[in-house]
Amino acid sequence: MKELYWNNNNSMMIVEDLVSGMIKRIDEMPASFIQSFDAAIATQRPETYKALCFEYGLGPQFAFKRVFQFSACNFSQKDGNVDIDEDFNFITEIVACPIRHRCNLPYCRFESELSKREIEVVRLFAQGFSEALIADQLFISPATVHNHITNIYRKLNLVGSKHPDRLLVTYVLNNKL
């Protein structure tokens, strides 16, 4: 039973065995673990697996890249909960950043809490577009844009922040949107 999470500065994915307490970086895990995890993604999330294969390649030599990206998009915090059991069933979690890293690729959208339209709105908002300009650009009403931004703040837990607009722009920059 394993838990996957990012280290404190989000530079590496950690795999912790919750039974033995062993902690390793994901790139230090045995090939058998990576191959079993890769096979589990293929079985449990076939559409996501197809997108990962399209992006990184099909074949065992690309298994680590597929597993790493899937983990980056679906596991984030050390919370003491099992993320992968002994049979390689996994329980993805709501990650701290629901559209982590390469958000424009299909496998992230499958796991995203933000809708495709919310992603479009947040990109334009971060570029400095006003709600009215976003509405014009996307052919929707300013009220709809406002509702999207409100939902984005809620989903990203920015409600009640002193400077949610700045935090949202920082979020977009940090996540390469």
**What's the whole-model pTM score?**
0.57
**Which of 82-86, 109-113, 163-167: highest mean pLDDT?**
82-86
Query: pLDDT (tens digit, 9 = 90+) per residue, 119-175?
Result: 889 888 888 899 999 999 999 999 999 999 888 877 776 766 666 677 677 666 655
> Bridge-partner residues for 15, per DSSP?
4, 24
